[in-house]
Amino acid sequence: MVMNSKSTRNILLVTALAAVSVLSACGGGNDKNNNAGSSTNGGTAGSADKEVTLRLFSNLPDRKSGQGLAEQMVIDNYIKANPNVKIDIETLAEEPFKNKLKAYMASNESLDVTMVHGGAELNTLVQAGYVKELNPAEYEGDTYKFLPGVYKSFTFNDKLYGLPRNSDYEVIYYNKKLFDDNGIKIPTTYAELLEAGKQFRAKGIEPMSMNGKDLWSFAAFFQDLVVRLTGDQNLMLDAVAKKKNFTGDENFLAAAKLLAEARDTKLFQESFMTADYGASQNLFTQGRAAMWYMGSWEAGMATNDKLPEDFRNNVNVLKFPVVDGGKGKNTDLLAWNGGGYSLVSSSKHPEEAKKFFDYMMSADQWAKIVWDTGAAVPAQKYELSGKESELQKQLTEVLTGATSTAGSIALDSGTPKFKDDAQNAFGKFFAGGSTPEQLLADLQKAAETQ
């Protein structure tokens, strides 16, 4: 029986060993491939004809439509022009993307180019020395054609650390047919907007669709109101930076009261607090809501053949209406440059990475493609191709006609904690029905404790 015990033990040991070796072979095999790849790359990065693999990290997992498609087209163009370069793209959706970028930053992962969000998030990367400083002089002139002032959320201590990929600005999309059919006037003032809301509601049509679950739209709406009241793009940004106070300021109070009016007159759809982005969009594109408060990146709606034709022919853009007695004009645009790309300091192929980065950011690549496909409005000057949809022309008009721009959305100008707390303050205001004073107190607290 001793024999028996020994043989069983041996069998178990062998199985365990086999299992471990199989597993480590799987892991090890991949590592070997990696090493082999990078060592050949490393040795020959200088010569242009040898194989190089660049790593791009992006927040656009869907490569078949929208901005993900545009990004993929740029990459395909680059690979076609430089057959020696391979580009390894890793993509994750927004939240997982942010988490993993932090993990990459903490472990100094050797990415080559990464998507970044300007403002607080990029600032963290800059302080960790994870992204490279860029020379703004290199990006002047006709190859790039960046619009003036777009570097604001990518600049820290007067140094540039990334390039913006889009001009984002909030507008009100509206369905012209719904206004015409019901004899409702297209609003030019905030009072008219609320009035139109009441009329639509009386007819059983949702006035304005809002992605309340995502919360950030409320903050943008509030910032729009502050700017319309004061004509001062910096007031709210200053309050976030603790140079001013949310509480005890009559302008903020007036804006919060206007926001409460929108809530109390039921301007937004039924159960807007549970609607995420897709839900609010579908409500609008199915013709069940008359307006949608959203950003310029939805330019592609007019040409998206998956949407009803009736809708596509009737979608238009409205500037955020002026407030009676306010100092702001309707050309004061809540525009910012949120997303962009940065070069990573720990890149293994800095020269090749820079070459690809410059190619991507040149005006005839990302900017042109993203405009032609209607995926977004670029941060660079773009030529009208003549094939634009009516919606795109209107959006261009809003941007080129802007007399002042915010440069940054207040929610993103503080720390991530501020963003969280401020969003919750708006959530409490809309879902819990707290008072305007309470909202300002909550915002003040969020700014102070960030």
Partner 1 sequence: MTKSTKTILWVFFLIVALVQLFPLIWLIDFSFLSSNEFYSSSVLKWPSDPQWQNYINAWVDGKFLRYFINSAFVTSVTILLTVILSLTLGYAFTRMQWKLRPIFFTIILLGIMIPIHATLLPNFAIFKALGLTNSYLGLILPYTAVSVPLGTFILTGFMRSIPKAMEESAVVDGANIYRIVFQIIAPLTAPALVTVIVTTFLNCWNEFIMASTFLSKDALKTLPFSVMNFAGQYSSDYGSQFAVMVLTSIPAIVIYAIFNEQITKGVTAGAVKG
Taking residues 242 to 281 in sequence order and writing x for each that binds partner 1 by CB under 8 A, - otherwise, the string is ---------------------------------x-xxx-x
Distances from the Cα of 222 to the Cα of 240, 254, 275, 277, 422, angstroms? 13, 11, 19, 18, 11
Nearest Cα to 391, choosing from 267, 326, 297?
297
Interface segment toward partner 1; rule CB under 8 A; list 64-72, 187-195, 233-241, 326-334: 64-72
Question: Which x/- pattern over 305-334 shows residues binding partner 1 (rule: CB under 8 A)?
Answer: -xxx--------------------------
Question: Looking at this protein, which amino acid is placed at residue 241?
Answer: A
φ, ψ of residue 399 in degrees (nearest 5): -75, -50
Residue of the chain from 45, 77, 82, 92 that contacts partner 1 (CB under 8 A): 92
- Does 100 interact with partner 1 (rule: CB under 8 A)? yes
Cα separation, 160 vs 115, whole angstroms: 15
For partner 1, the binding residue among 21, 39, 84, 99 (CB under 8 A) is 99
In whole angstroms, the minimum distance from the beta carbon of 175 to partner 1 comes to 14
Among 21, 28, 140, 417, binds partner 1 (CB under 8 A): 28
* Of 84, 188, 286, 435, the one binding partner 1 by CB under 8 A: 286
Q: What are phi and psi of 104, to 5 degrees?
A: -60, -40
Contact characters 34-63, partner 1, x per CB under 8 A: x------------------------xxxxx
* Best CA proximity match to 67, nearest among 353, 354, 362, 298: 298
Out of 41, 68, 341, 414, the residue judged to bind partner 1 by CB under 8 A: 68
* Shortest spacing between CB 380 and partner 1, in angstroms: 19
Q: Kindly list the distances between the CA atom of residue 178 and the CA atoms of 10, 131, 170, 287, 291, in Å, as whole numbers in the listed order.
A: 79, 48, 21, 8, 9
Identify whether the C-beta of residue 55 lies closer than 8 Å to the C-beta of residue 112: yes
Cα 296 versus chain centre, distance: 11
Residue 354's CB: how many other CB atoms inside 10 A? 17
Chain residues that interact with partner 1, rule: CB under 8 A? 1, 4-5, 8-9, 12, 19, 23-24, 26-28, 30-31, 34, 59-68, 90-94, 96, 99-100, 102-103, 106-107, 109, 275, 277-279, 281-283, 285-286, 288, 295, 297-298, 306-308, 339
